[in-house]
Amino acid sequence: MIFIPAIDIIEGKCVRLQKGNYQKKIQYAESPVDTARSFQDQGARLIHIIDLDAAKGRAQKNRDLIGKIAGSVDIPVQVGGGVRHRNNITALFDLGIERVILGTIIVKNPSYTEELVGEFGSRLAAGIDAENGIVRISGWTEESVLSSFELGQTVKKMGFSIIIYTDISKDGMLEGPDITGIKKMALQTGLEVIASGGISSIEDIKAVKHLEESGVVGIISGKAIYEGRISVKEACEVLLN
């Protein structure tokens, strides 16, 4: 299991939202590039980037910056946010991104998604973002009719090999992760799961680490790092031991 520090970007700045609410935005760092380098220096083996402008339909706004981030580190970078067409995917790969996260497109265009998974394979991850068990899409602004676990079964059939599972009710709240939901997602799908949302302390990380045998392979955290509650170095070391 690995610890994956997160960088959420709006207008070129590192920010964090509460439960995906753009009106509850906190800016933390001026330079996402310097932030990524710092994460690498502290031992991170993968960086998670969400382009919040792209999630709102402004896909070009931060693309050059994302390329600079990827070029500034020697570790893989995964990116999500507003990726709804093949050209979005190939543009990110051309920037040096290792893995691209799909979300809304899975729900709105499943046949096209399956085609993309057939083409790009394990370089695509399924982003399942849910609140009270129901999947939300379009930058978390729309509620779908699917439960998170129904979508988990769907993405397995599509050929995805990894799920990034986010409990929106926990995201940015520093209240601890949904251990039960994370474990259920891994066991019901049989896929590798990266857990996101609510990670607020080293104790939370240790709790999720117990799910490794269930198929949980990574933990994403952002706000807790920026507010000094979690050291990237310590979190990485805890998961290595």
Catalytic positions = 8, 129
What radius of gyration do the chain's Cα atoms show? 16
Closest to 82 (Cα-Cα) out of 137, 22, 155? 137
The residues, any chain, with a CB within 8 Å of residue 6's CB and separated by 6 or more, are 47, 48, 49, 50, 196, 220, 221, 222, 225
The closest alpha carbon to 104, from 144, 131, 62, belongs to 144
Residues 13 and 32: beta-carbon distance below 8 Å: yes
**b/e for 79-90, b at 16 or more Cβ within 10 A?**
bbbbbbeeebbe
Phi, psi (rounded to 5 degrees) for 85: -145, 160
CB 182 within 8 A of CB 196: no
